[in-house]
Structure 1
Amino acid sequence: MHPDIHLALHHARAAELRAEADAHPITEGRQDLRTRVGWTLVEVGLKLATRPRPAAAH
């Protein structure tokens, strides 16, 4: 299968799955929580990835 066709089919199926997930009763009202948890995980990951700076001599 040509890569462009495969990518187009992937995007179409992903859109269908997102629409189904948004319509599901379990996911209603969870976008805010999902967003907050996602950004919290990003923040924790960035803190873990950065090296602590050496303390300045007084």
Structure 2
Amino acid sequence: MNPEIHLALHHARAAELRAAAEAHRLATTSPAPRGIRTRVGWTLVEVGLRLATPKPAALAPSS
């Protein structure tokens, strides 16, 4: 195969892969949470996780 043709095919394929990666990145990134409803929701999630996490056993006082 002619090296120039091979290089052109390589550049075309690399451009396709970059475009696909960029499309995937744009599809998976979510905007920053906004609004009071979202903030209250995440606060409730935090509180729920704290309540659901077992507390470590208290150390017994040494005698």
TM interval, shorter chain, is 0.3 to 0.5
Which is richer in helix? 1
Q: Quick check: which has more Rg, 1 or 2?
A: 2
Q: TM-score with structure 1 length normalisation?
A: 0.43
TM-score normalised to the size of structure 2? 0.39
